[in-house]
Amino acid sequence: MLEFHPLQLEDLPRLRSFFNYSGSRICDTTPGTVFIWRDMYETEWAICDDSLYFKVQYPSLGETFTLPLGGGRTEHFREIARYCCKKGIPLSFYPVPKDELPRLQEYFPNSAAVAERDSFDYLYRAEDLMYFRGKKLSGQRNHVNKFLKTYGSWTFRTMTQADVPQVKAFLDRYAARWDKAAASFHEDIAKTHEVLDHFATYDLLGGILQVEDNIVGFSLGEIVGDTLFTHIEKADRDYEGCYQMLVAQFAQHFVRDGVHFINREDDTGDLGLRTSKLSYHPVALLEKYTVTIEEPCGK
């Protein structure tokens, strides 16, 4: 039977290779997302027959499972059903990408799938975010041009361990300047500090945007498969066009051969964030579903 353990940051080097088998472009199957939010979702992990399983606690869902990484799906489903029957707990999966639904529902005919719009990821063509070409992205391009005209002495460079103290100081200024009452804002700031404090362990791609000697923005992300994922992005809105410049520079510096898409994650139901992400014209919204299973013990 599956034996789960609380996920700790020191588990990352051991588990990182499993994420190469996700077969999905959703952010939830990247090392960065899983480890950054492991405490909030009380993530636990297990390895069985060379496959990696995660059990999480999502608000309003309770104990649920992600789709395991590696091996065959049928074997995964059977192992999780056995675990839930032994423990006497309900069986549900989240997040389930749209293209995985048929296989899951074929194995569990007595299941119900519900789309979670607030968690849909925004997927973009890498080239679109690198250069903002074409009429539909003229607004973003205009913001970049405004930045270039206003702030002549600017640089964008790869973040190193030596930059961490300065970036953390910028993050503190950012948090104080744009403070929000929402608990999620403070959790996000705290987790960003943790990523910076363990910069080498997370091993994310990082970029810093500066005007003269001042940091005005930074991004952190990673590449999995053919997709560059932007996990963390902070910029000083007092610098006009700063966010658009950061988006473009991060893409230009870290998109490499074989990377065709950029995932900028979900909007958490925030209407302002949704408007912003839609303004970059995604090529797809990556749908995610909650799937609940009735009577799993027959499997």
Same domain? For 108 and 125 the reply is no
Do 246 and 205 lie in one domain? The reply is yes
What are the phi and psi torsion angles at 269 (to 5°)? 85, 5
- Which residues constitute the domain of residue 40? 5-119+287-298
**Residue 53 corresponds to which tokens in the numbers above?**
């399983």
The torsion angles phi and psi of 70, rounded to 5 degrees, stand at 95, 155
What DSSP element (H or E) covers 196?
helix 183-197
Residue 193 has pLDDT above 70, yes or no: yes
209-268 tens-digit pLDDT: 999 999 999 999 999 999 999 999 999 999 999 999 999 999 999 999 999 999 999 999
Quote the number of domains for the chain. 2
Task: Average the pLDDT over 60-64 and give the result.
Answer: 87
How do residues 8-43 score in pLDDT, each as one tens digit?
999 999 999 999 888 889 999 999 999 999 999 999
- Asked if residue 277 belongs to a domain, the reply is no
- Residue 86 CB coordination number (10 Å): 11
- What φ, ψ does residue 295 adopt, rounded to 5°? 50, 60
How large a percentage of the chain has pLDDT more than 90?
Answer: 85
pLDDT at 219: 98
- 298 pLDDT band (50/70/90 cuts)? low
Q: 93-123 b/e with 16+ CB inside 10 Å = b? A: bbbbbbebbeebbebbeebeeeebeebbbbb
Q: Determine, yes or no, domain membership for 281.
A: no
Domain assignment present for residue 104? The answer is yes
What is the rounded CA–CA span in Å between residue 146 and residue 155?
15
109 phi, psi to nearest 5 deg:
-60, -30
User: For residue 294, what pLDDT band results from cuts at 50, 70 and 90?
Assistant: confident
69: which DSSP letter? B
pLDDT tens sequence across 70-121: 877 788 999 999 999 999 999 999 999 999 999 999 999 989 999 999 999 9
* pLDDT grade for 182, boundaries at 50, 70 and 90: low
pLDDT mean over 128-149: 97
Q: What is the CATH number of the domain that holds 294?
A: 3.40.630.30
Question: pLDDT band for position 178 (50/70/90)?
Answer: confident
Q: Is 143 strand, coil or helix?
A: helix
Residues 108 and 153 occupy one common structural domain: no
Judged against a pLDDT cut of 90, whether residue 181 lies above it is answered with: no
Q: Is residue 63 part of a domain?
A: yes
Same domain for 147 and 234: yes
Q: Are residues 32 and 74 in the same domain?
A: yes
Query: Are residues 294 and 257 part of one domain?
Result: no
The answer on 146 and 88 residing in a single domain is no
Q: How confident is the model at residue 62 (pLDDT cuts 50, 70, 90)?
A: confident
Q: Is residue 279 part of a domain?
A: no
Query: Of 72, 86, 30, nearest to 54 (Cα)?
Result: 30
Pair (98, 127) in one structural domain: no
CA 81 – CA 298 distance, rounded (Å): 9
Q: Are residues 106 and 126 in the same domain?
A: no
Q: Are residues 38 and 128 in the same domain?
A: no
Tell me: pLDDT of 122 over 90.
yes
Nearest one of 117, 140, 127, 61 to 94, comparing CA atoms:
61
